[in-house]
Amino acid sequence: MVDIWFSQLDTENVKTSVRVEKQLYSGRSPYQQIDVFQTKEFGKMIVLDGEIVFSEADEFIYNEMVVHVPMAVHPHVRDVLIIGGGDGGVAKVLTQYPEIASIDVVEPDEMFIEVSKKYFPETAEGFNDNRVTIKNMDALRFLRRFRDSYDLIINDSTDPFGHTEGLFTREFYGNCYRALREDGIMVYQHGSPFYEQDEAAFRAMHRKAYKSFPISRVYQAGIPTCPAGLWMFGFASKKYHPLKDFDPKRWNDRNIKTWYYTTHLHRGAFMLPKYVEDILSEEENR
Amino acid sequence: MVDIWFSQLDTENVKTSVRVEKQLYSGRSPYQQIDVFQTKEFGKMIVLDGEIVFSEADEFIYNEMVVHVPMAVHPHVRDVLIIGGGDGGVAKVLTQYPEIASIDVVEPDEMFIEVSKKYFPETAEGFNDNRVTIKNMDALRFLRRFRDSYDLIINDSTDPFGHTEGLFTREFYGNCYRALREDGIMVYQHGSPFYEQDEAAFRAMHRKAYKSFPISRVYQAGIPTCPAGLWMFGFASKKYHPLKDFDPKRWNDRNIKTWYYTTHLHRGAFMLPKYVEDILSEEENR
């Protein structure tokens, strides 16, 4: 039997390796290297430029946390923009909310969408809902045209250094702010500040969001395939506070089935380790 | 330059690897294989039977969470028992509480203590406090002699299958119960239920604690060197509830310096993912 392992470099000095049963796909789009693996522990797994983007075993954590947290706070979300999200998982969770009228997915990489549809049909099912529109273009450019158009923006992009670099600039946060209605919320991937190499990007991200939005908080989830097993999300908002305006009863009455999110966990996710709180308040007081 | 990596098998199909600068120690005690590595990302790291037990970079998370959580709940802890804890890290955090009169450390493996003292003098410093007594014996046997003797028991043992197997039996939980005073608390390592292979042990542990103690809750922390990055702790108690009897003001007035624990995080740590809540309540209703 061949012994194949895929390794993700969490840092130059730490790696997470997953035993591979079979490499299902490998290709290069104009934007990135795309690989799909069949693994024993995580099921099918998609890897972009060497980093695990999602696996069948733990994608529910990420998808639920970026959708249900803002949806349990904002009382009337109609129009949603997903930046990135080419796998359809976030869109799929959003389609459980009947009051949502439109979901725009801005994903420049068509090949990533095609690969997701082929190998992860259950996740990409989100694209079949007729409220979903896919725009194959650069999000920074797309956003410039919009004013007061969205109630919720979910920024699914992770990498501040690759082709999505522009989505981590101050201009980008400003554009998101303008594209949101007066009570809009933006949720974005914040990464983990545990490893020294990631701390600077984590700090810069919070500084930009904090300066661009009146309310800016960070929340966390444990995601096994993420570096250090810990992942953080930014909650930047024009009006609603993630805890003060949180309505657990309204959300629980919806009876949405989840595997990770609960309204208790919602509160707990905003209670952060001391070293993270210290980093955030240092950036706020700069 | 030589390229050395230490790998921990999180499961048969997932491993966490850490670049090693130098192996500082390797030896076999009557109980286990002991290795010490100098690493770039985690500093010095101690490995027992191939599993990372602690590293300089993240031991603070574990030590703070097993000590401050019960100490912020129980109003008058005088006598503490640590089962395992041969590195001294838990004892060190406990010595910050002036009201504690005695700390017994029951660690059968003398060699583990000696190695810890030599390579981790800052952590093992906990042993220098004159309230600390080390007993080199089996904890199950040690416990049989005690009735109403301790206010807090911290069970630092992790492995339900190795030489510490006896510490995961129903008899053991019963012995702990009897060794505690009428308002005593026991905190223990609960592992992570994310991987299928660990789920049965996780379930069995909760079942035993739930049957042995009137109050039995589980709390979590993100620890990068633990499998899946997630670690859970059991809080089994005769009288005090970890949230209802929690006194944040009293704890904050102590001004203890922490890197992970805060009284906000205390509450958040008990707010668990849905799949973990489901597992726990299934075991409670068996």
Across chain A, mean pLDDT equals 93
The architecture of the domain spanning B59-284 is: 3-Layer(aba) Sandwich (3.40)
- Please state, in angstroms and rounded to a whole number, the distance separating the CA atoms of residues A242 and A219: 10
**What mean pLDDT is predicted for residues A1-21?**
94
Phi, psi of B116 (to 5 degrees): -60, -45
Confidence category of residue A160, pLDDT binned at 50, 70, 90: low
| Token pair recorded at residue B115 | 């190695």
Confidence category of residue A162, pLDDT binned at 50, 70, 90: low
- Residue-wise pLDDT for A64-109, tens only, equals 999 999 999 999 999 999 999 889 999 999 999 999 999 999 999 9
Q: Say whether residue A226 is in contact with chain B using an 8 A CB cutoff.
A: yes
Position A206: which residue type? H
Residues, chain B, total?
286
Phi, psi of A3 (to 5 degrees): -115, 100
Going from the C-alpha of B279 to that of each of A58, B162, B273, B276, the distances in angstroms are 17, 24, 10, 5
Tell me the pLDDT of chain B (286 aa) as tens digits. 789 999 999 999 999 999 999 999 999 999 999 999 999 999 999 999 999 998 999 999 999 999 999 999 999 999 999 999 889 999 999 999 999 999 999 999 999 999 999 999 999 998 999 999 999 998 888 998 999 999 999 998 866 556 666 667 888 899 999 999 999 999 999 988 899 888 998 999 999 999 999 999 999 999 988 888 889 999 999 999 999 999 999 999 999 999 999 999 999 999 999 999 999 999 999 8
Q: Which residue has the higher pLDDT, A1 or A44?
A: A44
Any known ligand binding at B58?
A: no
Q: Which of B16, B15, B188, B172 is nearest to B85 (CA)?
A: B188
Q: Which of B258, B249, B222, B266 is nearest to B92 (CA)?
A: B258
CA quadruple B207, B213, B216, B221: dihedral positive or negative?
negative
Confidence category of residue A163, pLDDT binned at 50, 70, 90: low
Residue B257: closest CA among chain A residues belongs to which residue? A274
Of B156, B198, B245, B253, the active-site residue reads B156
Helix locations, A222-273, DSSP H: 248-252, 263-269
Residue A283 burial (CB count, 10 A): 19
pLDDT score of B86: 87
In contact, B72 and B43? CB cutoff 8 Å: no
Cβ contact, residue pair A14, B15, below 8 Å: no
Going from the C-alpha of A130 to that of each of A91, A92, A126, the distances in angstroms are 11, 12, 9
- Please state, in angstroms and rounded to a whole number, the distance separating the CA atoms of residues B106 and B40: 32
Q: How is residue B95 annotated by DSSP?
A: T
Show residues of chain B in contact with A252, CB under 8 Å.
none
Residue A284 burial (CB count, 10 A): 12
pLDDT score of A158: 67
Q: Say whether residue A19 is in contact with chain B using an 8 A CB cutoff.
A: yes
Crossing angle (nearest 10°) for helices A196-212 and A274-284: 50
Cβ contact, residue pair B264, A271, below 8 Å: yes
Show residues of chain A in contact with B199, CB under 8 Å.
none
Show residues of chain B in contact with A271, CB under 8 Å.
262, 264-265, 267-269, 271
Any known ligand binding at A158?
A: yes
Among the partner-chain residues A17, A40, A262, the one whose CB lies closest to the CB of B17 is: A17
| Token pair recorded at residue B20 | 């090693």
Chain-centre distance for alpha carbon A238? 19
**What mean pLDDT is predicted for residues A32-46?**
96
Cβ contact, residue pair A261, B277, below 8 Å: no
Q: Which residues of A are catalytic?
A: 156
- Please state, in angstroms and rounded to a whole number, the distance separating the CA atoms of residues B156 and B233: 10
Show residues of chain A in contact with B260, CB under 8 Å.
273-275
Residue A227: closest CA among chain B residues belongs to which residue? B224
Write the class of the CATH domain B4-55. Answer: mainly beta
Among the partner-chain residues A14, A19, A61, the one whose CB lies closest to the CB of B41 is: A14
Any known ligand binding at B87?
A: yes
Confidence category of residue A159, pLDDT binned at 50, 70, 90: low
For residues B186, B188, B192, B196, the Cα torsion angle rounded to the nearest 10 degrees is -90
In contact, A52 and A9? CB cutoff 8 Å: no
SS3 B128: helix
Confidence category of residue A111, pLDDT binned at 50, 70, 90: very high
Q: Which of B13, B65, B91, B10 is nearest to B269 (CA)?
A: B65
Sheet holding B150-155, edge to edge: B132-135, B102-106, B79-83, B150-155, B180-191, B230-237, B215-222
| CA angle (A177 as vertex; A91, A206 as ends), nearest 5 | 90
pLDDT score of B210: 93
Residue the block writes with tokens 């922490």: B258
- The full DSSP string for B177-225 is HHHEEEEEEEEEEEE--SSHHHHHHHHHHHHHHHHH-SEEEEEEEE-TT
Position B26: which residue type? S
Strands A230-237 and B4-11 come out as unpaired
Residue the block writes with tokens 């093992």: B124
Among the partner-chain residues B15, B226, B265, the one whose CB lies closest to the CB of A272 is: B265
Show residues of chain A in contact with B259, CB under 8 Å.
273-275
| Residues forming a β-bridge with A217 | A235
- Min Cα–Cα distance to chain A from B272, Å: 6
The H or E element containing residue B21 is strand B14-28
In contact, B221 and B260? CB cutoff 8 Å: yes
> Could you tell me where in chain B the CATH 3.40.50.150 domains are found?
59-284
Q: What percent of chain A has pLDDT over 90?
A: 82
> Could you tell me where in chain B the CATH 2.30.140.10 domains are found?
4-55
Q: Say whether residue A274 is in contact with chain B using an 8 A CB cutoff.
A: yes
SS3 A261: coil
Cβ contact, residue pair A17, B14, below 8 Å: yes
pLDDT score of A192: 86
ipTM of the complex: 0.93
Per-residue exposure over A13-51, b if at least 16 CB sit within 10 Å of its own CB, e if not: bbbbbbbbeeebeeeebebbebbbbebebbebbbbbeeb
- Mutate: best of B8, B10, B14, B270, partner A, most A CBs <10 A: B14
| Token pair recorded at residue A184 | 């809009």
